[in-house]
A = this chain, B = another copy of it.
Amino acid sequence: MSEAVDVILRKNQLSVTGSRKKILELFIGSRGDALAHADIEKKAGEKFDRVTIYRTLQTFVDKGIIHSIPTEDNSVRYALCKHNCTNGHHHDNHVHFVCNCCERTVCIDEVTVPDVKLPKEFAPMYAQMVVTGVCKNCL
């Protein structure tokens, strides 16, 4: 698995470094759960500089490895892109779910964002959907 991480990084023309491997592993290990900057700092075990985490996250977003999730409370969270988005073009069109109770944020890969028709003064490129509710763990 640690090798898979190397492959992903190289596939994206990124040099393989300790922080990138570790952070990417955290995303893979979180299985669809979105991670905030603070989660990464915590789970990485106090290893990396805050700045490195910021920069790594930005690099991953630019490369299309992870995407940020729009939430109403404007907490900044990221999750893995499933369909290898390339170079800043994200095509993840799955729905996100935010649990009102435990604040967990998950990608729901099985559900795609439905199409909507907009008034013609708006030329849509892509749509995102966030469903808020309560997850099984909190019921």
Contacts and interface: CB of A to CB of B under 8 A. Distances in A.
Interface string A108-132: 1011011011110111111111111
A133 B129 contact: no
Contact of A123 (B123, B125, B139): B139
Given A72-B70, A74-B76, A131 B122 contact: yes
Given A70-B71, A70-B72, A72-B70, A129 B100 contact: no
Interface range for A: 35 or more
A53 interface: no
Contact of A131 (B68, B100, B127): B127
Contacts of A74: 68, 70, 74-76
Interface in A38-78: 67-76
A125 B101 CA distance: 12
A95 B114 CA distance: 12
A136 interface: yes
A114 B114 contact: yes
Given A97-B124, A108-B122, 6 more contacts: A68-B74, A70-B72, A97-B122, A108-B118, A110-B119, A126-B132
